[in-house]
Amino acid sequence: MNSDLLDGLNPRQLAAVTLAPVPALILAGAGSGKTRVLTTRIAWLISTGQASPGGILAVTFTNKAAREMHTRLAAMLPIDTRGMWIGTFHGLCNRMLRAHWRDAALPQTFQILDSADQLAMVKRVMKAQGIDEERFPPRQVTWAIAAEKEAGRRAGAMEATDEFSRRVRDVYEAYDQQCQREGVVDFAELLLRSFELLSRHEVLRQHYQRRFRHLLVDEFQDTNVLQYRWLKLLAGDDGAVFAVGDDDQSIYRFRGANVGNMAAFEREFHVREVIKLEQNYRSHGCILDAANALITHNAQRLGKTLWTAEGRGEPLRVYEAVTDHEEAGYVVDEVAQLRQEGVRLIDIALLYRSNAQSRVLEHALFAAGLPYKVYGGLRFFERQEIKHALAYLRLVANPDDDGALLRVINFPTRGIGARSIEQLQDAARERGISLWAAACGGHGGGRASGAIGGFVQMIERTRASVAGLALGEIVDAVIDASGLKPHYRTEKEGEDRLGNLDELVNAAAAFDLAAATATVEGDIVDADPAALPALDAFLAHAALEAGDTQAGAGQDALQLMTVHASKGLEFHAVFVVGLEEGLFPHENSLDEHDGLEEERRLMYVAITRARRRLYLTFSQSRMLHGQTRYNVASRFLREIPEALLKPVNASPARHAAGLAGHGFGGGGSGGRSSVAGPSWSAQYGRAPSAPRVTDPAVATIAARAADHPFRVGQNVEHAKFGPGVVVAAQGSGSDARVRVNFRNAGEKELLLAYAKLTAA
């Protein structure tokens, strides 16, 4: 055995690597070196003669992780790792089915459908059955079929309790038959077909159970029901399953992950010892203490406590902003300071709960000239749904825009095929006119001419209906008329796209306000805001922000991403923004089983991405879904001990300016919050920092605000309505007013001269 293999392992890592060949559960905390433990375990088993390279099966959750494991093993041992069974669940099942295609009732050259091909086949099946796609959206039917497969159920075993599930069952059965006829499988089918193969073929099952006496599984907390059943089948009674995972980082329930698999594994495999990897090699002590304190509020966990030998480090910086724009400004200022201290931009991450939050951050970075990269996604103005919406807006501004027309003439689909569009282009080219003019002249051709006419009428109606509206209202109305929202509601992860469309309305409203007041630097495309109509100016602004600001390959750039996308990554400094009730934790989670605990695990992941410095920010008001909302700090901030936090407060002048800029009460659903409670500063009794006033108008607003007896976030009591929290405050003297979110009576707007309101 190569003794160098075990050099540098800490006692718990060493115990895991050299464990006897029995079922083992390794609770590997964030930054505890789990990848090293997994690969060293494999190398140790081979070098000690306990297993041959062909007798090991290792499951990873990404192809990238599988490649990394191959590379590390090749560096540890003088063996060719290419023939080893190391890969994802789908990759390993594909390999098994290729080897036993006859037993699996598949053609030798079976093909794998991607998600687009799968959806297209479901649509064909539904059309053949005469099913109305409006009532039963094909995407939803496709997800339902995938969910049944991932639960290990064929169509005949489905529970059909309503019309939708009965339709899904019928389509599922016909879809399976069509796939079999064509010799194709989808991704979920790879695992289900492999599971069925091992279940019914005893000789084959026993062969693989004898061969793979050592099964190693990474990210065990992310396994779904069928994956766990497949592993149990492959392990049999004697298989040594080495399961590595962290239940505190289980954040993919929306993809089918079942955090309960870890507890089930410990129970069903009779695990005698759970080895906890708790020494963290990534973060300073204050960061880890905050993560430990937060996660203890979850009841359903196996339990561990991270620690480090790297020292205490700095407390977590907490910033309370007045508006989301102020929050973004603070982030930009701190990033610039970190850069001056020698921290590379690539070592700084901005994390947010929802993709739509990136727009304000991107705008601030654009204005400051800071290069950035949106990790795992596109910049705001380059996202598909935003480009579609902008194309509709371009047509409203200028119907002769051929590029915009081609992008959306059949999106969402309205029965205009490629041939009809070609005929339209030919007609426009022959006459030397725009596509719009050709369409208005009835040159669509064939059966689609009626559909093209309907598209023209829709654009004309929309152009007429938005005349005289404010910019934000124009954008909102055009998006509503486009049909984009109903289309994206049928997508599995369409919530993000819908949120981004709402954020485009916010962007337009903010742009309009900035152009009118000329107070927000970088928001005005032209030195004279009146030089362009509002819509044209906004479209020019969007085109500029979609330009060259995002960093190119290899360039030092700030990293922007959702918390979900950050899992597995680490950075010198991390900003977690938008820590407000209803946003993080997300309001949807509060009504779901285990929803709040998963949100807390998500926050735990966010905290443990930081190595040396962590910023936590929230805003008293934020534009969300086209409306201003007034917020209270996230409960997650209150779950971190105060001794670990270093608050940074907003100035009263900027506070007042933020409230005045958004208008009293925010309209609509403004003021909504999930929990009525004190603001951060009110809770901890810290006064705001000294005002920084440079604009006389802002100074006037600040002076008026200073005279107001109540402030946003303050707890109050009313003689009739009971306890509540102030969500907006305006005016002074006899004109002083507040909007209060009462715990038992909802929101009320009160004139203080007549209201019996007192501080709680």
Rounded to whole angstroms, the Cα distance separating 217 from 234 reads 12
Question: Catalytic: 118?
Answer: no
Rounded to whole angstroms, the Cα distance separating 303 from 107 reads 47
Task: Pick the catalytic residue from 170, 186, 219, 248.
Answer: 219
Angle at the Cα of 487 (from 457 to 630), degrees rounded to 5? Answer: 105
Encode 284-299 in three state secondary structure.
CHHHHHHHHHHHCCCC
Rounded to whole angstroms, the Cα distance separating 169 from 158 reads 7
Rounded to whole angstroms, the Cα distance separating 413 from 457 reads 16
Other C-beta atoms lying within 10 Å of the C-beta of residue 384: 12
Rounded to whole angstroms, the Cα distance separating 504 from 498 reads 10
List alpha helices for 561-695, DSSP H: 563-566, 595-607, 635-638, 652-662, 680-684
Rounded to whole angstroms, the Cα distance separating 42 from 23 reads 15
Question: Catalytic: 581?
Answer: no
Rounded to whole angstroms, the Cα distance separating 231 from 262 reads 13
List alpha helices for 570-684, DSSP H: 595-607, 635-638, 652-662, 680-684
Rounded to whole angstroms, the Cα distance separating 254 from 571 reads 26
Both tokens of residue 322?
């007045």
What letter would DSSP give residue 49? T
Both tokens of residue 77?
């041992």
Q: Which residues pair with 742 in a beta bridge?
A: 724, 746
Question: Catalytic: 35?
Answer: yes
Rounded to whole angstroms, the Cα distance separating 401 from 713 reads 48
Label residue 378 left, alpha or beta by phi (over 0 means left) and psi (-120 to 50 means alpha): beta
What contacts 579, CB < 8 A, 6 or more positions away?
Answer: 616, 617, 618, 633, 634, 636, 637
Identity of the residue numbered 182: E
Question: Catalytic: 108?
Answer: no
Do residues 351 and 606 lie in contact, with contact meaning Cβ atoms separated by under 8 Å? Answer: yes
Q: Angle, nearest 10°, between helix axes 138-150 and 115-128?
A: 110
Do residues 217 and 181 lie in contact, with contact meaning Cβ atoms separated by under 8 Å? Answer: no
Sheet-wide strand order for 56-60: 85-88, 56-60, 214-217, 240-245, 24-28, 274-277
Identity of the residue numbered 375: Y
Question: Catalytic: 34?
Answer: yes
Rounded to whole angstroms, the Cα distance separating 31 from 614 reads 16
Task: Pick the catalytic residue from 13, 249, 279, 308.
Answer: 249
Burial zone of 324 (CB within 10 Å; 0-12 exposed, 13-18 middle, 19+ buried): buried
Task: Pick the catalytic residue from 12, 34, 72, 213.
Answer: 34
CA dist list (Å): 403 to 188, 407, 448, 570, 613: 38, 6, 20, 41, 46
Block residue for tokens 């598909």: 384
Question: Catalytic: 323?
Answer: no
Task: Pick the catalytic residue from 253, 609, 654, 711.
Answer: 609
CA dist list (Å): 267 to 22, 262, 594: 14, 9, 21
Write out the H or E segment, with its range, that includes residue 206.
helix 202-211
User: Which positions are catalytic?
Assistant: 34-35, 218-219, 249, 609
